[in-house]
Structure 1
């Protein structure tokens, strides 16, 4: 498959802030372009997704920009709070429940940006980012009139009670790719079956050198898959 990356944006902790990356003191996007009342309602994960989505689509008319929002865990911190409230037999807030579901960020971004185009929400384990890109590639193949599509991936380390089961990602991260049918950097995106392959962690972090131009080719191990990115001159 061939794709064009028209623009991209990433948020991840700065080197000086990595020790506090998983704490409440960690740096978060300022999102000064978002009204304060709206900004206060956004969880940290939602702020990360908003930040990269707005950067990558800054020069686009977002009113009709199809999107794919992807997250391995979603807003699991919010879900844990709801589960703990259930355990204490407390009444749940309908609004908090609505904001905990996996497509909540997609809905919030659509409302803020007044984007009336379709949007999907994807979760696919350690390979979530790659399956979101695969979804975009499939849509370009099956929809001849589709010009561009915004892929947004955001994740945080899971809450402490779940750390024994999963340590991916190791730090908060968000990445947005504005993919286009014919404009931008042309790349080959290849998925190969590999029955012995075990998924690498922090796949989004490992994609950054490729996006920054430090690598022309990148291969990552997925779950029973190999993912290959190759730039085309």
Structure 2
């Protein structure tokens, strides 16, 4: 499948001077303070990369795909703990904990009336979002561009024994276009022996940054392959 990457942006914690990871968040100065206060940390990450990627774009009719392995799991854990203590739950907090909450918040903020979807597919969540985008370009001849946004955080401490993916908070947005931008080839190969590797968004960055011409990442029973079009063998 051929895809055109028109623009992209990423966010991750920047190392402090002593090499430790600084616990920072995007400033989101362009978002009104009243709106910003309602955003969770992960939502701020998604907003930051999405807004960087669609700068100077018309966002009122831009289809979007939001992907996350865990969603806002910190908020969900808080609600579960409240249930365990038999405390009343906040309807607004519950509404903002569901997997498509970020999509809804971003649509309202950007006044985007186009369709949006939310995807959770384990460690392969980012790549399944890309796969859906590619399928839509193939099946919708009038589709001009589509925004893919991936965001995730390390899971809360109670879940650390079960999963350490991702290893750092990270967000990535890719604006795909039908015929504008850098042409790349994206494919999925079935492999029953393959085990999904962690930090797939982080490992994709060298390809997006131009440090690699080709990249293969292991997914669950499949391989995800990226290639700069001019360097592909076929």
TM-score range, shorter chain: over 0.9
Name the structure 2 match of 1:34: 31
Residues 34-86 of structure 1, C-alpha deviations (whole Å, 9 max, x = no match): 00000000000000000000000112100000000000000000000000000
Name the structure 2 match of 1:197: 194
Q: Which runs of 4 or more aligned residues in structure 1 lie more than 3 Å from their structure 2 counterparts after TM superposition?
A: 17-21
The yes-or-no answer on 1:63 pairing with 2:63 is no
Q: Give runs of aligned pairs for residues 1-233 of structure 1, distance below 5 A.
A: 1-16=1-16, 19-20=20-21, 26-233=23-230
Name the SS for the 1:64 alignment partner.
coil
Shift of 1:13: 1.1
CA distance in 2, matches of 1:193, 1:95: 41
Name the SS for the 2:79 alignment partner.
helix
CA distance in 1, matches of 2:13, 2:97: 24
CA distance in 2, matches of 1:6, 1:143: 18
Shift of 1:16: 2.2
CA distance in 2, matches of 1:59, 1:193: 39
How large is the RMSD of aligned CA atoms in angstroms? 1.0
Unaligned runs of 5+ in 2: none
Asked whether the equivalents of residues 14 and 21 of structure 2 are also in contact (C-alpha less than 8 Å), the reply is no
Shift of 1:201: 0.5
CA distance in 2, matches of 1:212, 1:121: 26
Give the TM-score taking structure 1 as reference length: 0.97
CA distance in 2, matches of 1:95, 1:76: 16
